[in-house]
Structure 1
Amino acid sequence: MKRRAFITAAATAPAALAAPSIVSAQAQHNWKLVTSLPRGLPGPGVSAQRWADRVTAITEGAIKVDVFGAGELVAPFATQEAVESGTAEVYHGSGSWFSGRDTAHAFFTAAPFGLTFDEMHAWMYYGGGQELLDEFTAPRNLKVFIGGGSGVQTAGWFKKPINSLSDLQGLNFRAAGLYGEVLRKLGVNPTSIPPGDIFASLQAGTLDGAEWVGPSNDLAFGLPNVAGYMYAPSPVEIYGGIEFGIGLDAWNALTDGQRVMVEAVTEAEANRSSGDTLHAHLQAYEKLRAMPDLTIGTFPDDVWEAIITASREVIDEVKQTSDFHGRFVTAYYDYVRQATEYKRYYDTAFLIERQKFFS
C-alpha cells in the first residue's frame, strides 16, 4: 500500500507542481468600462453591461470588467478621453458624440445618407472599414470596434409642426455629430447635450426639438410627453452605431487568445445589440401610432432638398480636412454607392412588393 501511495503521489506531482506556474503566468486584467449612457438603459445601456459580463465570463475572470454609467466616474461625453488618459480601459458610446474632436469619427456611427447597419457590418468586417478605423484611432492610443446599430433613426421630435423649410429657422435643436452640421446649414441652432438631459431641456423650453434614437428609446425617455410632432426617417442617423473603444496599452497587454475572445464577444454584441434594438422599436412604434395626441410624419420636400444640398457640402468639407479624411470619406461613399445600387434591385424592390402583400 505504501508503494502504491508513492506511485500515486509521484504520478500526480507534475500536475500539482505545474498548476501554480500556469496560474501565475495568467495575468489578471481589471478593466473599467465607462459608458456615455445611464446604467441599465434599455438597449444600449444593457449592451454595455452584457459585453462586460461576457468578456469576464469567456475569459474565466482573467479579464474582469466593471461598468460605470454616465457620470459615475467621468462625464458622459468624456469617456473617450478617459480611456486615452488611462482613467479607464474601455469606453462605450457613439462616435457622433466625440466628433467635436474630429468630425470624421461620426462617419463610423452616423453619416448623411450613409450605410445601414447590415451594410456597415459588411464594410467594417470585409470592405476595409476596420482597417480605416484602426488608422484613424491608433494615434489616440485606441483600438475601437463597432458595437451595434439602432437602424434608421427618428429625424426629430418637435413642439410645433414642420410644414416647410422656414419652420426650422432658428430652432434650438439637440443634434450630435454630422446631423448637427447639416442642420446648421438649414438655419437650425444645433446643440449636443448628453442623452440624460434631453427630456428636461425640452420640458424647460431650452430646446425646441431633439433627436435621440428611435421609437423604443424615444418612448423610454418620455419624448411624446414634451414634444407632439415626430418626424422620420433621419437623413443622417442611419446606422446609429455604438462603439467599444479599448486603450491600446490594455489591448496589447492581452494574450493573442484573449484578444480573439474580446473581438468575438464584440462582434457578437454588435449583432445582438442591433437585433435587440430593432425588436424593441417594432413594439414601441405600435404604441406611438396609438397615441391620439401625437402627429407622426416625414419632412416636407423642400426640407429634404435642402438636407441633400447641405449634406453634400458637409461631406466635401470633411474630405478637405486632410489626405486621410479625403481617402476615408471617398472609400466610405464608394461602398454606400455600391450598396445603394445592390439594394435598389433587391431590398427596395422587395419592400415595395411586401407592402402590397399586407395592403
Structure 2
Amino acid sequence: MLKRRQILKGAAISSLAIGTPMIARAQAQHDWKLVTSVPKGLPGPGVSAQRWADRITQMTDGEIKVTLYGVGELVPPFGTQEAVESGTAQAYHGSGSWFSGRDIAHAFFTGVPFGLTFDEMHAWMYYGGGQELLNEFTNPRGLQIFIGGGSGMQTFGWFKNEIKGLSDLQGLNFRAAGLGGQVLSKLGMNAVSIPPSDIFSALQSGTLDGAEWVGPANDLAFGFQNVAKYMYTPTFVDVYGGIEFGVNLAAWEALSDAQRTIVEAASEAEANRSSADTLHANLQAFERFKADDSLTIAELPADIWDALRAASKEVMDDVAATSDFHGRLTEAYYAYAEQCSGYKARYDAAFTAERQPYFG
C-alpha cells in the first residue's frame, strides 16, 4: 500500500511538472490593441483593419489577441503611430501620408507623385529592396511596418466648381495630405490636412472648396457626390494609395518565430485581399457615379498636368536633398518606377488601349 501511494504521489508530481509549461504558455498570450484613423467597418480600410485583427487572432488560436479601436476611440485620429511607438497600443493601421508630417519618407510607402501602382509597389517591397529601406527607416524608432494593400488609382479630387484650367485652382482650400499637398501648394492651392472623418462636414460648410480622399468606393461611402458635383480623375500622387500595419518593435520581438511568421503572412494576405476588395468596390461605385446625371466626371486639363509634373520634380528634389537616406530612398524608388513605366507602356497600357474597342 505504501509503495502504491508513493507511485501515485510521484505520478502527481510528474503531471504537475508536465502541465507547468502549458500554464506558462497560456500566460504568455499577447493582447494587442490595434488603433486606426478611420471608422470601424468603413468600406476598404475599416474592413481591412478588422480582417487583419481577426485573422491573426484566429490563426494563433488566441495566442495573439488583436482588438481593433476605431478613430478616436483610444487615441487621436493622427496619433496612432506615436501611440504604438510609446507602447500605448501595440499596432496601428493607417496611411503613410498621414504620418509624413513626422518624416516625409513615410509617404514613399503610400504614394508619391507619378509613382508606383499597387502591383508595382508590392513587387518593389517584396523583391526590389523596399521592405529593407522601410526597416532601415522605422526600426530605430521602435516600429516594424508592413504594407497592408493599396486602393489603386485614386480620384484627383471633388470640387464644388468646374476646373477648366490651372488658374481655377488658385487659392482653393483643398484637403490633401503628404507630398501631394506640397505639390498642390506650389500650384497655388491651400492644401489642408484634416482627418478623413471631418472631410464631408468641411465640404458641406464651405470650409473646403474641394477634397481628395481615396477612390470611388470610399468617396461614395462618404457622400461627396452630395456636396461637390465635379469629380476629376485620375490622381497624380496616390496611384498606390497604400495602407500599412505598424507593430511596436518590442511587441514584435516578444513573439515567437512562428507567431512572427503568422503576422507576416497575414499582412501579405491582407495586402492582396484589400487591394482586390477595393478594386472590386471601385468598379461598382464608379458605375453609380456614371449613372448620376447631376455629376460631372472629367480629366484634368493639360496645363494642370504640365504644372503637376514640374512641381512634383521640384518637391522630390527637395525631399532627396533632406538627408543621405532620403536621397537613397528617392533614387531607389524612382529607378524602380521608371523601369515599371517602360515595361507597362509596352505591355499593360498597350493592351488596355486595344481591349477597350473589344467592348464597342
Q: TM-score, normalised by structure 2?
A: 0.95
Cα deviation for residue 97 of structure 1 reads 0.5
What residue in structure 2 maps to residue 119 of structure 1? 120
CA distance in 1, matches of 2:303, 2:59: 52
Which AA in structure 2 matches 1:163? K
TM alignment of 1:147-296, pairs within 5 A? 147-296=148-297
What residue in structure 2 maps to residue 81 of structure 1? 82
Q: TM-score, normalised by structure 1?
A: 0.95
Which AA in structure 1 matches 2:174? F
Cα deviation for residue 25 of structure 1 reads 3.6
CA distance in 1, matches of 2:309, 2:358: 32
The CA RMSD over aligned residues, in Å, is: 1.8
Which AA in structure 1 matches 2:49? A
Q: Deviations over 1:29-87 (max 9, x none)?
A: 11100001111111110110110011111111111111100000111111001111111
Cα deviation for residue 358 of structure 1 reads 1.1
What residue in structure 2 maps to residue 4 of structure 1? none
Which AA in structure 2 matches 1:22? M
CA distance change for structure 1 residues 292 and 12 in 2, over 3 Å: closer, same or farther?
farther
What residue in structure 1 maps to residue 22 of structure 2? 22
Cα deviation for residue 139 of structure 1 reads 1.9
What residue in structure 2 maps to residue 91 of structure 1? 92
Which AA in structure 2 matches 1:337? E
Which AA in structure 1 matches 2:207? T
Q: Deviations over 1:221-258 (max 9, x none)?
A: 00000000000000001100000000101001101111
What residue in structure 1 maps to residue 55 of structure 2? 54
What residue in structure 2 maps to residue 310 of structure 1? 311
TM alignment of 1:127-138, pairs within 5 A? 127-138=128-139
CA distance in 1, matches of 2:244, 2:161: 33
Unaligned runs of 5+ in 2: 1-6
Report sequence identity in percent: 67
Cα deviation for residue 23 of structure 1 reads 4.0
TM alignment of 1:99-110, pairs within 5 A? 99-110=100-111
CA distance in 2, matches of 1:170, 1:110: 24
CA distance in 2, matches of 1:12, 1:47: 48
CA distance in 2, matches of 1:242, 1:182: 21
CA distance in 2, matches of 1:356, 1:338: 28
CA distance change for structure 1 residues 122 and 10 in 2, over 3 Å: closer, same or farther?
farther
Which AA in structure 2 matches 1:223? F
CA distance in 2, matches of 1:154, 1:226: 16
CA distance in 1, matches of 2:47, 2:18: 40
CA distance in 1, matches of 2:295, 2:277: 25
Cα deviation for residue 17 of structure 1 reads 4.9
Q: Deviations over 1:146-202 (max 9, x none)?
A: 000000100000000110100000000000101101100000000010000000000
Matched position secondary structure for 1:212: coil
Cα deviation for residue 10 of structure 1 reads 10
Q: Deviations over 1:119-145 (max 9, x none)?
A: 000000000000000001112110000
- Runs (4+) of structure 1 moved beyond 4 Å? 9-17
Which AA in structure 2 matches 1:344? A
CA distance in 2, matches of 1:138, 1:308: 33
Q: Deviations over 1:91-137 (max 9, x none)?
A: 11000001011111101101101000000000000000000000011
Cα deviation for residue 20 of structure 1 reads 3.5
CA distance in 2, matches of 1:14, 1:212: 62
Matched position secondary structure for 1:173: strand
Which AA in structure 2 matches 1:188? M
CA distance in 2, matches of 1:346, 1:15: 65
Q: Which deviates more, 100-109 or 16-25?
A: 16-25
Cα deviation for residue 14 of structure 1 reads 6.7
CA distance in 1, matches of 2:312, 2:12: 70
